[in-house]
Structure 1
Amino acid sequence: MFDLSPEEITEGSLARALVTLAAPLLVQNLVLVVQQAVDLFWLGRLSSTAVAAVGLALPILALLFALTITAPFVGTQVLVSQRIGGEDVPAARRTAATGLGLALVLGVGGGAVLWASARPLTDLLTLAQGGAGGEVTRLATVYLGVLALGLPFAAASDAVEGAFIGWGDSRAPLYISIATVAVNLGLDPVLIFGWGPAPALGVQGAAFATVAGYGAGLTLALGLALAGRNGGMYSRAAARFDRDELRELLDVGAPVAGQGAVRQVVRVLIVAIAFAAGGAAGLAAYTVGARIASIAFVPAIGLQQATQSVVGQNLGAELPERARRATYLGVAIAAVGLGVIGAIQWFVPTAIATTFAPELTDRALAFSVDYLRILAYGYPAIGVAYIFEAGFNGARRTRTSFVATVLQFWAVRLPIAAGAGVLLGVGIDAVFWAVTISNISAAIGLALYYRHEMSSGMLQCATERATAAD
């Protein structure tokens, strides 16, 4: 049902290609969201300190993941898709091997940096968030130190997934994610609470379970790749250092890594601003809204990854007009889909908030209801922004996505949140509106710029560059 050949992507129904590629990726992202929820479920039964420690560590992890995992993943996906579209399988294999090698190097380096700097980073973040200190900081440091061991596995697994998606195979990444999450969730209660002969390791056990999941995912990823899936994605001939290939892959992937880092830094700052503007109730509402939004955006993320592959393969096949139509079709699907999700959220915000956080105070619940409704106005816009970014990324214009994110977060979201929310005394509502206004601004800006670049021949140039690389 979810099998797609390169010919179907470049010659068949675009709607079918987008939906067929996106469906397993959507499920994959939902699986990862479930993993986070279940981790919190078990840690919440250990202690509130354990939950706070992991919460303190997550921004550091998200930033490091953006810097070490994103570049090889996106670079591999985009370049492989263009080369498969151009029917240059040896070049696609070379890209896949280069992406895997880069991921291993970045994963090992990033893991070493995380292990060495876990304590200073948690101390710094603790200070930025008002000084949690003590046991929370100690447990967060332990958690990060263990996860440093798993970073090379996570980076390598994602690079292999990027090759699969670029090839037009989105089922393999789903299988890999299910294996990763299944091992993690199965070991969580055993290692956290010490069931059977296993010792009770608490937060450290949760981290070891996550590392084991990464290892299982990488094992399955390499097994699927080396077993000859998609006609064989790796070969001995491709497994050699190629400086030009590495430079090209970084040229595509590095701006997206920077994009992720920009987002994470601002999100950390917004947490501090939300607390300053609305106190504990405002911060709780912001946290609830952020978690719910991360689930609501899952369809757009899956569709974004699918669109990048469809655009890339059609450019590699010298079909720029079809790549343009794929982008606009993806925009329409994302806008309508997230619009429906936003409408549901707008009409029943109280039920949604209490489902995710039943113990909210009356003030925090009131803030959460306000935030969920304000967020809903921007849902179609964030879907539009994601897919236009995919249109640029598939054409190797990842710097455009990076600049758009810098403007969205640093020129719009942060100034409105800090200026109106704190300096002008408007309060937490200004922080909420800053998020939605920045999402709408990003969508409008990307749409206008995409149209401008179309008239300037962006896709024709991208096609020439893709075919010249072959």
Structure 2
Amino acid sequence: MLDVDREAITDGPVGRVLLLLAAPLVAQNLVYVANALVDTFWLGRVSEDAVAAVGLSLPIQSLLGAAVVIAAVGTQILVAQRAGGEDGSGARRVAVNGALVALAVTGAIAVPVVAYPEELVRLLGADPALAGTTATYLAIIVAVLPVGAVGDTVENCFTAYGDTRAVLHVSVVSVLVNLVAAPALIFGVGPVPELGVAGAALGTVLSGIVGFVHILAYAAGIGRDTFRLTRDAFAVDLSVVREVVAVGLPLGGQRGVSELVRVLVVSLVAIAGGAAGVAAYTVGARVATLAVVPALGMQQAAQSMIGQNLGADAPHRARRTTMVGTKLVVVGFLALGAVQFLFAGAIADLLAPDLTATGRSLSVLYLRILAVTYWALGGTYTLLAGFNGASRTRTSFVADLIKYWAIRFPIAVAAVPATATFGAFGAFGVAVAPGLGWGVEAVFWAVAASNVVGFLGLGAYFWYTTRRGMFANAAERASGGDGAGADPADD
């Protein structure tokens, strides 16, 4: 039902094909969210400190995820372009060398983190009582980061070929493994000892290894035939390595700058809003994470579709894919935002029934502020898919740099009390001057403003670059030319 053949990607109805490609990816991302909640659910039955230990490790894991993006998404974009150009051997060569990039980059990062996890955790301002437990969890998770990065890179090759169901299958099997392994390792079953937080980490690791083996089996031709690695592809090609890094590095930088700001903003929320403010921000962040899942799935599908059409020398269709995808997401997110706005109180009560009156009031306010900007947040993902699919990944990096550092963070600083003294706060000892005393609401509006301004600015730049032949030039490059002299009218 959800199968999409290669011809449909380059010739079929754009909207229908996009939705069919995105549906398994949306389901996959929902599975990821569910998988992330497994540890919290079971550790919540151990102790508050156990839950806090996992929570404290999340900002570091998110920052390390930027390294995974370099190879995984860079490989996806290049494999899609070669697949669209009917260059199967080239696509397989990119896949293998992209996996090598993933292994090298994440391996270089994992070694020092595993060696000095407690020192790293303390940089976040963690309570000494929690630092040791958090470090144990983090070290176990990061030890297998290179395996996960290689697995994600190979998964993205299937996405690039339009086989998004393969990725969904792998994700479902992985989360099922974690659902069984996590409680067994946390609480102990039979000969398995009670491991607590370490058991939660080992359950996540085990599910990741199973997913890695599963996707490699598919790539070997066992159970799938859409994308298959052959022996001739297993050769180091430095030119391909450089190409993967050139395309993926800006995307890794994009992920890094956005995640770092999120860590710092949480510290501002703690200063300006106390426990009630942090609770409200957490409720909003969790809901927003679920809300963006459809947009993220649409972005991943659009990147593959755009790349394949550029490889097939169809720049007009690549542009149309971006426009149709953005319209679908914007309309859908307007409806989603309306529902959240109307039922903000019920959502807050469902997620955090024990909030104080102040915490609930702030949660409802933040949920409503987020709701009226969802259309911009979602539309940004598909606009960026257009740039990424055309290998213009530096645009994504610059866009997020402006969105988070030039708009969101400066406005959020206004939340800090005007009487605050200049000095270090929260994560990484970053120093800020006294704010304007606008309260934690300033952080909420900072998020909203950065979402809307970011979308409008990116939309204007998309119109400008497409008028100047961005997709026509990208199609020329994908087919082996240099793009010189491409006619903007072709786009």
TM-score (norm 1): 0.97
Q: Report Cα offsets for 1:394-447 as digits up to 9, x if no partner.
A: 000000011000000000000000035541111011100000100001100110
> 134, 141, 144: which one pairs with 1:147?
141
Q: Does 1:39 align with 2:51?
A: no
> 441, 451, 464: which one pairs with 1:429?
441
Distance 1:311 1:234 in 2: 23
- Structure with more helix by fraction: 1
Distance 1:39 1:52 in 2: 11
Identity %: 48
Distance 1:113 1:76 in 2: 26
Distance 2:230 2:109 in 1: 27
> 402, 409, 424: which one pairs with 2:404?
409
Contact 1:421 1:429 in 2 (8 A): no
Structure 2 matches for 1:187-226, cutoff 5 A? 187-226=181-220
Q: Report Cα offsets for 1:10-60 as digits up to 9, x if no partner.
A: 011111210011000000000111112222110100100011111110000
Q: Which moved more, 1:174-183 or 1:259-268?
A: 174-183
Contact 1:107 1:154 in 2 (8 A): no
> 432, 442, 453: which one pairs with 1:441?
453
Q: Report Cα offsets for 1:146-200 as digits up to 9, x if no partner.
A: 1122212210110011101111110111111112211112111100111222101
Contact 2:19 2:298 in 1 (8 A): yes
Alignment-derived partner of residue 175 in structure 1: 169
Q: Does 1:284 align with 2:282?
A: no
Contact 1:188 1:209 in 2 (8 A): yes
Alignment-derived partner of residue 153 in structure 2: 159
> 310, 313, 338: which one pairs with 2:308?
313
Q: Secondary structure, in 3 states, of the residue corresponding to 1:125?
A: coil
Alignment-derived partner of residue 463 in structure 1: 475
Q: Secondary structure, in 3 states, of the residue corresponding to 1:365?
A: helix
Structure 2 matches for 1:346-385, cutoff 5 A? 346-385=341-380
Q: Which moved more, 1:350-359 or 1:440-449?
A: 350-359
Distance 1:365 1:384 in 2: 29
Letter in 1 for 2:371: A
Contact 1:93 1:235 in 2 (8 A): yes
TM-score (norm 2): 0.93
Contact 2:272 2:415 in 1 (8 A): no
| TM-fit CA distance, 1:231 | 4.9
Query: Structure 1 residues 89, 274: CA separation in 2 closer, same or farther (over 3 Å shift)?
Result: same
Q: Report Cα offsets for 1:184-227 as digits up to 9, x if no partner.
A: 12111100111222101000000000110110000000001102
Contact 1:96 1:233 in 2 (8 A): no
> 321, 324, 329: which one pairs with 1:329?
324
Q: Secondary structure, in 3 states, of the residue corresponding to 2:225?
A: helix
Distance 1:339 1:233 in 2: 40
Alignment-derived partner of residue 245 in structure 2: 250
| TM-fit CA distance, 1:105 | 2.0
| TM-fit CA distance, 1:469 | 7.0
Alignment-derived partner of residue 233 in structure 1: 228
| TM-fit CA distance, 1:135 | 2.6
Distance 2:167 2:56 in 1: 29
Q: Report Cα offsets for 1:101-156 as digits up to 9, x if no partner.
A: 22222232222122023111110102xxxxx4233111100001111222122101
Q: Secondary structure, in 3 states, of the residue corresponding to 2:219?
A: helix
Alignment-derived partner of residue 2 in structure 2: 2
Distance 1:260 1:70 in 2: 8
Alignment-derived partner of residue 107 in structure 2: 108
Extract unaligned runs of 5+ from structure 2. Answer: 418-434, 483-491
Q: Report Cα offsets for 1:264-313 as digits up to 9, x if no partner.
A: 11000000000111111001100110011000110000000001011111
Contact 1:107 1:156 in 2 (8 A): no
| TM-fit CA distance, 1:359 | 1.5
| TM-fit CA distance, 1:336 | 1.1
Q: Does 1:93 align with 2:105?
A: no
Contact 1:10 1:314 in 2 (8 A): yes
Contact 2:344 2:368 in 1 (8 A): yes
Q: Which moved more, 1:110-119 or 1:86-95?
A: 110-119
Query: Structure 1 residues 404, 218: CA separation in 2 closer, same or farther (over 3 Å shift)?
Result: same
Distance 2:23 2:252 in 1: 24
Letter in 2 for 1:315: L
Q: List structure 1 segments (4+ residues) > 6 angstroms apart after TM superposition.
A: none
Instruction: Tell me the matched-pair count.
Output: 464
Distance 2:7 2:131 in 1: 53
| TM-fit CA distance, 1:362 | 1.3
Query: Structure 1 residues 18, 133: CA separation in 2 closer, same or farther (over 3 Å shift)?
Result: same
Contact 2:221 2:228 in 1 (8 A): no
